Amino acid sequence: MAKPIIVSLGGVESRFDHEKLDRTKLYGKRQRQVLDPGGARCEKAELTRDGTLLVRTGMTAQGYFDEGGSWIPNNKLVGLGPDGKPLPMIGSTLGEPQKLTGPVDPVEVLDLAVRSVYALNPEGLDPKLEAELKAGKVYKFTLCYRGGYQSETAFLVGNSTGFFALVGSPSETAWLELASVATDAGDAGESDDDDELDFEMF
């Protein structure tokens, strides 16, 4: 069982058991299955472009093939920064208290590119935090689920059905506008007779 999500507000900790939500849990799923002539289920696989390797479902989530076709598991991969130097490893935040920031403007949640949603089951909830979440307040904290090279932003929210963590990365919208407004260079007093048809020409 995964370690709990622990957050701290004013020095008081709250602990949550968590379960990841997805479309399957919300709506159920249907799956089209392909069977061989004997009635056994077929499994999807793909050939690499050079036709030398057969890649089955789930294999690319466990590692990568290098240019020579050798298999490199994920635990052997190293993250590199823009300068080409190895990045420091970030440990998992599960089981480690994370300081809450807020309450924050709910608009911040709208600017989050959400990757995961977790349903939270309180195992020890600060009454003050519980009251504020039920009143619609939003709090922010840092989450790194499995550990890696990058942490994510999580928003702690609540409603009548429970408590949730919305996890993702803040998205920045780049707005474009003209440096200067284009104006008509023509003289407004000039006549546009040149564009008119002269029927005497026909």
pLDDT tens, residue by residue, 37-85: 888 988 888 887 887 778 787 776 677 777 777 778 877 778 788 888 8
Q: Look at residues 174, 171, 173, 165 and name the one whose alpha carbon lies nearest to residue 113.
A: 171
3-state secondary structure of 103: coil
Looking at residue 13, what is its pLDDT?
92
Residue 109 host element (H or E): helix 107-110
Looking at residue 24, what is its pLDDT?
80
Q: Look at residues 138, 146, 137, 43 and name the one whose alpha carbon lies nearest to residue 89.
A: 146
In contact, 120 and 30? CB cutoff 8 Å: no
Measure the CA–CA gap between 158 and 132, rounded to whole angstroms. Answer: 9
Distance linking the first and last C-alpha atoms of the chain? 89
Low-confidence residues of the chain: pLDDT under 70: 1, 60-61, 182, 184-202
3-state secondary structure of 52: coil
Looking at residue 189, what is its pLDDT?
54
What are residue 139's phi and psi, to 5 degrees?
Answer: -125, 155
Looking at residue 54, what is its pLDDT?
80
Looking at residue 164, what is its pLDDT?
94
Handedness of CA 95, 139, 156, 129 (dihedral sign): positive
Looking at residue 71, what is its pLDDT?
75
Looking at residue 176, what is its pLDDT?
76
Q: Look at residues 16, 6, 9 and name the one whose alpha carbon lies nearest to residue 123.
A: 16
